Every structure is written in C-alpha cells, then in structure tokens.
Structure 1
Amino acid sequence: MEHIDVAVIGGGQSGLATAHALLRRGLRPVVLEASDHAAGSWPHYYDSLTLFSPARYNSLPGMPFPGADRDRYPHRDEVVTYLTAYADRLDAEIRTGCRVTAVRRTGDGFTAKLEGGRLSARAVVAASGTFGRPHRPALPGLEEFTGQVLHAADYRSPAPFSGRRVVVVGAGNSAVQIAAELAETAHVTLATRGPVKFAAQRILGRDLHFWTVRTGLDTAPLGRFLARPPAQPVLDDGRYRAALAAGRPDRRALFTGAVGPKLLWPDGPREEVDAIVLATGYCPDLPYLAPLHGALDDEGTPRHREGLATAVPGLAFVGLEWQRSLSSNSLRDVGRDADRVARRLAAHLARR
C-alpha cells in the first residue's frame, strides 16, 4: 500500500490552498480530487454567477487573481480559469478522478479507501466543500408536488423555464440572483419564511469588502462562538431590491402545502406551478469520514475547533462555512485558514 504524508481530499480552492500551505512547511501532500479537474465546484455553478467580492479580494496564496481591473466582480468562468492555472503552478501531486470513499484510523495514521485502491497517510485534510450535498429542507407539501423540483446546484440558465411559472425558495444571494434572472423570461415568485434582508454592495464609494477587511471583521475569529452559521444578507447594488419592489420577481410567504401541480399559498388560493427551485444552501459533504468515530456529529457536521478535529488527532478541515471567520469558506480567506491548519498539522506530525 502506498504511504504519503498528508492526504488532502478535494481539489477545489480549499484543497489547493491547503496543499500550498503544507508544501511551505516541508510536507508532501497528495491532493485527491473526485472529478476530472482541479477547480472544485466552480464549473458546475449556474452560468451567470458572478462573485460578490471584487477581484482584488479573491486571490489564493502565492498567485494574484489576474486582470487589470481589480475592482471588477469576476465571472464564474474566470474563477475556473484561475483555479486551473493555480493547480498547474502548484508543486504538489494532484490526482483527478480519484474519489475517496472511506477514511479509517490505522495505528497513529489513516487509511483512505479509494475507488480502485487504498493509501495510507500520516494526516488527512477534508477539503471537499459542500456542493455535493445540497440542502433540501422538508417544506410543506413538497413530497406531494408533482411539478419539477430542482436544487440551485442543478440550475444553469433561465432558458428551459421561459414562459413558465416558477417558485424559487430561499432568501440568500443565490436565491435572489436566480429569481431575478428567471423573472426576465418567466413568471417568478421568491418564497421565503421572512422578509429578504439586504446589505449595500458599496458604502461611501467603496465595496463592502473593503470595510470588512479594513475593520478586521472579515477575519475576526468569531466562528468558535457560533452554534450554527448565521444567515447572510443579500449583497445588492440596488438592482435586486428594485426588482422585488417591481414584482419581478414578487415575494410571498412560503407555501403551506401542495396538491398535485398546485401550491397552496397562505394568502390566496391554490395555484398551478411548473417548477420549484430550491436555493436553500448546502451542507458539508463528508460521507467518507463516517468510519472515523467522533469526526462528525449525528447530522454529518464536522466536530472541530478552527479546523482541527476535536476527537481525531491528525484530521483537519478547510473550507467550512464560519470555520474560523466570516470569510473562511471564500477565495479571499481560505488561504489563511489553510495556513493555520497546515502549521498545526506540521507540529502534530513533528511530535510523533
């Protein structure tokens, strides 16, 4: 069986940043990526996705995000190109098409079971993100609804929904962006449990991220005090608030049930709907850690403190929402968390 220093599971932004940090500490990581490319989930996001932070704040360690206009909001495809180039420049072994199905403790190290083989590692970093585990809440009547139901993970463009009646469920950035895009060619309702909360994209002529970085809010270690990640407001330059005010899309309280293709609204009669898009977020995608006692709680959520597993020495996480700070699972700060985890893993391995 092959023996390696550190197995980094996931070849997206978190895994690449972690590999960079481990290399700087003299360790030789092997990045195990299930897909055929080292760009994480970015190629699978919807076509119109743009970042909510300017290019200047979206660099991984050692390689600035390209482009002369540092204040533009990069498109999804720019991020894919950037991550691909970053992986190509990284002096680490990246194995694509290499899915990890289980990790088990072996002595004071780990054995990773792959589709087609096994390897042992002195340490493991879980950096597989959340895209593979869309959150599908138990909404009233959803099981009885006979129209199309899809998650935002499966949404690509408004073309298939032109002229149709669509309900988008969610109150976050993606929900509002998808609903507004669909409303240009379809009859769309944004269904939420409460009012949509907005935050100004620019304050005093500066992007909001300028202020969160300048004040230290972006990287303040608040994650340790949160029982669960708080809901984030929708970043808006005015266009989404105006779209909702104009009823394109309209906003309603969440439906209360369904009968066949019809939804039941709390403030009106039944209405036939063609499709429901669940923009309801994601959960950590870590089924391969189930054999490690104490790594996950009963809901599959990592048990950790600032990225270090609390009950499994040598296991770490990178890229979790609020792992340490507001920006932990973002391009702009995942490198900071990766460096902290790499430093602590290196110290752990040095003591063995």
Structure 2
Amino acid sequence: MTQRTNVVVIGGGQAGLAAGYHLRRLGIEFVVLDAQPAPGGAWQHAWDSLRLFSPAAYSSLPGRLMPAQEGQTCPDAAHVVAYLADYEKRHELPAQHGVFVDTVHDDGMVLRVETDSGTWRARTVVSATGTWTRPFVPAVEGRREFPGRQLHTVQYKDPSEFAGQRVVGVGGGNPGAQIAADLTGHAQVTWPTQRPPRYLHDDIDGRALDEGRADPGGVASLGDIVAVPPVRAARDTGLLAARPMFTRLTATGVEWADGSRQDADAVTWCTGFRPALAHLAGLRLRGVRGHIATVGTRAADDPRLHFLGYDDWTGLAATLIGVGRTAREAAREIRDLLA
C-alpha cells in the first residue's frame, strides 16, 4: 500500500517531534515514522542514572515546558521519556511507532520512502534518526586480545553488574564522566581520556549549551563536561581523576605509551556516535568519507531533504531546547519549497 503526504519525518525522538510541532503550526501535512515501539526516542534506552545537564525549565521543546521532576534538579531519562510521550499526545502529532524506514529513493518529483509496513510518497523528507543506533568504538590496538567485557554507552545500564571489578571507562565527554562517576563506589575505576577533561563552570549547569549561548571561542570552548551532582561529587572527592588515553589493550588490561599497565575486567567505550543515515544510501548524496554536504539543515544537493538531531552537524539539534530553533528554520524552508 502506498500513502502520500507532503513531508515524511523519519524518527520520533526530540528532533522529529520538534519538526512535527513547527510543521503543524505552518499547516503542512506530514507524518512521523518512528522505529521505536513507543514514544520517547533513544531516551528510553539510556542508562539508569543518566541526568540531563540542565534543569527541566531549560530542557523544553517548543510549545510545552518540561515540568520539574520532584527531588531532582536535573531530570533523569525516564522523566524525559514521559515528557516526550506527553508532548506527542498534547500536540496531536501524527506519529506511527514501530515503523522501520528501510530506504528513501528519488522518484523524480517526489521521494519514495520504503518501510517495513508500506510505502510513502512525499515531496520532502526530514531525517531525524539521530545517532544512538550507530555507536562508535575506535580501532585501538589489542581490542581482540583483551578477554574481558567490552561495552559501549548504549549497552551500559547499571553499576551493580560491575561490583568489585576493575573497569576502564574510556571517554572524556558527558557520557564518559557520568558513567565513570556512576561506577565509583561499585568498581575500581580508571578513567582514560583523549585530552584532559574540560568542565563547564559548576554554576553553568548546561544552560549555556542548551540555549546555544557561545563565548568568543564558540559553544565547544565552554567545556565538554557539565558537572551534574554525581560527577561533581566523584570529582571533588578524588574518585574521578582522568588519565591520558592508553595506547593498546592487552591480555590482562591496558597499556600506556610509557609501558605502564593496568589490569582490567571490563572496558566501557563512551566514545561517541555517528549519524544513522543508512536509509538514505539510495539517494547517493554522500561525498568524501561518507559525509553529506548541507546548507543549514538542508542537503546541499537536494533541497527536499533536511537533517535534524545529529549533534552539531546541522545545528544545536542534539539538545532538547536547541532543536526547537533548528526545527523551526527547517520547517520554514520546507514551507517555502512546497509553495
């Protein structure tokens, strides 16, 4: 069965919902196709202790303030899931869950979106699939030699399963710091980072990043890590102390450039993600190193295609509050194109 609409939004997380909100406000017909079986995007798969790096009031999508979570300054992932589900319902966004988009093809005047439950033909497509399904692990020497457990951020849930173990937690960003802090008190933690960790000032608590406020060096120069309470506590008590990145994994643990070694039972790779764009391969838009050239959120070589929710690639669409402005601009461009 083939269905038709003006816009297909692929992905029902925060970016897809923000796009839907602005498309609805502009009176544009659209549908949101989401592979997740329920609302909430990737947040429903996050580790148990994950916290936003800003208060609820600074973590809202357009048109609906996130309510505060009782007893928490920075809400946890479950609170975000509930908020996104409520947001989708309140704004009556036409989201279809449990629909996996296989490929998008160019059919001349329209884009053909093939899914596991049928075909859609649309004049434009917003790709908002995010990065969670494409975890990145660097090609470190000895990875196959190390017999212990190795897991990425996406596989981590709770520190109790590492009780009494020696864990090497790799990664100097927010996930690396939060998971390393989460493990302290349960495991012996070694925290290697590619460069010395850079904390935002403790008083900032992530609002600068979420609001897109930048100092003269840009948003990234504000710092990589927001000292949410668990991270701050582990840091201030000396339990969260970074070491330089090791050079290789061994049969017993890790080894540094100077020959020093550390035994380990497990390695957590908090080493980031790549954009999940396999569904767009049929459009043949990728250039050098698989990168798709963009102008703002729009594909440079196909104005019918927009991207939202891929870290800072096409705007501050990886944060809840940041995606609202980016989605608004994308919706306006789509309106102009359809006109």
TM-score when scaled to structure 2?
Answer: 0.91
2:164 corresponds in structure 1 to 163
| Correspondence 1:308 to 2:304 | no
CA shift in 2, pair 1:212/1:52, >3 Å? closer
Unaligned stretches of 5+ residues in structure 2: none
Unaligned stretches of 5+ residues in structure 1: 224-228
CA distance in 1, matches of 2:72, 2:229: 18
Structure 2 counterpart of 1:335, from 313, 324, 338: 324
Q: State the superposition RMSD in angstroms.
A: 2.6
The Cα shift of 1:29 comes to 0.9
CA distance in 2, matches of 1:38, 1:183: 32
The Cα shift of 1:298 comes to 4.4
Identity between Structure 1 and Structure 2 (%):
36
1:249-268 residue pairs with structure 2 within 5 A?
249-267=240-258
Structure 2 counterpart of 1:320, one-letter code: Y
| Correspondence 1:283 to 2:274 | yes
| Correspondence 1:248 to 2:239 | yes
Q: Please give the per-residue CA displacement for 1:201-225, whole angstroms capped at 9, x wherever unaligned.
A: 315xxx5526985xx72599x79xx
Structure 2 counterpart of 1:159, one-letter code: S
Moved more, 136-145 or 96-105: 136-145
CA distance in 1, matches of 2:228, 2:92: 40
CA distance in 2, matches of 1:153, 1:278: 9
Moved more, 134-143 or 253-262: 253-262
CA shift in 2, pair 1:139/1:247, >3 Å? farther
The Cα shift of 1:232 comes to 4.5
CA distance in 2, matches of 1:161, 1:240: 18
Moved more, 302-311 or 150-159: 302-311
CA distance in 2, matches of 1:71, 1:302: 39
The question of whether the paired residues in 2 share the 8 Å contact of 1:202 and 1:237 is answered with no
The alignment partner of 2:303 has SS state of coil
2:309 corresponds in structure 1 to 319
2:178 corresponds in structure 1 to 177
2:29 corresponds in structure 1 to 28
CA distance in 2, matches of 1:219, 1:10: 32
TM-score when scaled to structure 1?
Answer: 0.88
CA distance in 2, matches of 1:348, 1:115: 28
CA distance in 2, matches of 1:331, 1:185: 31
The Cα shift of 1:193 comes to 2.1
The alignment partner of 2:57 has SS state of helix
The alignment partner of 1:6 has SS state of strand
| Correspondence 1:196 to 2:197 | yes
1:217 corresponds in structure 2 to 213
Q: Please give the per-residue CA displacement for 1:103-132, whole angstroms capped at 9, x wherever unaligned.
A: 010012100111142221111000011101
Q: What number of residue pairs does the alignment pair up?
A: 337
The alignment partner of 1:235 has SS state of coil
The question of whether the paired residues in 1 share the 8 Å contact of 2:36 and 2:98 is answered with yes
The alignment partner of 1:41 has SS state of helix
The Cα shift of 1:248 comes to 1.8
Q: Please give the per-residue CA displacement for 1:293-336, whole angstroms capped at 9, x wherever unaligned.
A: 22x334444321210110012100111222454x3321112111
Structure 1 counterpart of 2:336, from 333, 341, 347: 347
| Correspondence 1:235 to 2:235 | no
CA distance in 2, matches of 1:119, 1:212: 34
Q: Which runs of 4+ in 1 moved over 4 A?
A: 68-71, 210-213, 229-232, 244-247
1:91-170 residue pairs with structure 2 within 5 A?
91-170=92-171
CA shift in 2, pair 1:212/1:289, >3 Å? closer
CA shift in 2, pair 1:134/1:237, >3 Å? closer
